[in-house]
Amino acid sequence: MKLRTNSTLSPDSGLRGDFPLLAANPGLHYLDSAATSQKPKVVLDALRDFYETANANPHRGAYALSVRATECYHQARVRIAQFLGVRDSDCLIFTRGTTEGLNLVAGSWGYANVSSGDEIVVTALDHHANFVPWQVLAMRKGAKFRVCELTPDGKIDLDFLGGLLNQRTKVVAFNHVSNAIGTINPVEEIVRLVREKTDAILVCDGAQSAPHFPVAFDSLGVDFYAFSGHKMLGPMGIGGLVGKREMLEEMPPYQTGGDMIEFVHDDRTTWNVLPHKFEAGTPNAANAVGLAAAVEYLNEIGMDRVIAHERSLMSVAQQRLGAIDGLHIYGPPPAERSGVVSFTMSDVHPHDLATILDGEGVCIRAGHHCAQPLMRRLDVPATARASFYVYNDESDIDALVAGIIKAREIFAYVET
Q: What is the Cα–Cα distance from 337 to 126, expressed in whole angstroms?
A: 15
Min CB(405)–another protein separation in Å? 13
Taking Cα atoms as reference points, which of 17, 97, 3 lies closest to residue 45?
3
Q: Which is nearer to another protein, 307 or 407 (CB)?
A: 407
Q: What is the Cα–Cα distance from 207 to 106, expressed in whole angstroms?
A: 17
379-398 residues in contact with another protein (CB under 8 A) are 380-382
3-state class of 240 per DSSP?
A: strand
Identify whether the C-beta of residue 392 lies closer than 8 Å to the C-beta of residue 30. Answer: yes
DSSP string, 48-90: HHHHHHT-S-TTT-SSHHHHHHHHHHHHHHHHHHHHTT-S-GG
Specify the stretch interacting with another protein by CB under 8 A; choose among 38-46, 197-205, 332-340, 373-381.
Answer: 373-381
Q: Which is nearer to another protein, 269 or 355 (CB)?
A: 355
Output the CA–CA distances (angstroms, integers) from residue 188 to 61, 158, 184, 220, 264, in the order listed: 45, 12, 12, 7, 43
Contact residue for another protein among 349, 377, 395, 398 (CB under 8 A): 349
204 included as an active-site residue? no
Output the CA–CA distances (angstroms, integers) from residue 14 to 17, 107, 303, 364, in the order listed: 8, 41, 14, 18
Taking Cα atoms as reference points, which of 316, 184, 307, 288 lies closest to residue 229?
288
Q: Is 351 in the site for another protein (CB under 8 A)?
A: yes
Specify the stretch interacting with another protein by CB under 8 A; choose among 101-109, 183-191, 253-261, 408-416.
Answer: 408-416
Min CB(351)–another protein separation in Å? 4
Q: Is 413 in the site for another protein (CB under 8 A)?
A: yes
Catalytic residue, candidates 91, 204, 363, 370: 370
Q: Would you give the binding string for another protein spanning residues 297-336, x where CB under 8 A is met?
A: ----------------------------------------
Q: What is the Cα–Cα distance from 33 to 298, expressed in whole angstroms?
A: 15
Q: Which is nearer to another protein, 335 or 410 (CB)?
A: 410
Q: Which is nearer to another protein, 212 or 368 (CB)?
A: 368
Q: Is 371 in the site for another protein (CB under 8 A)?
A: no
Q: Which is nearer to another protein, 63 or 413 (CB)?
A: 413
> How far from chain centre, in Å, is Cα 154?
18
Residues taking part in catalysis: 370
Give me the residues that bind another protein (CB under 8 A), please: 349-352, 355-356, 359, 366-368, 375, 380-382, 406, 410-411, 413
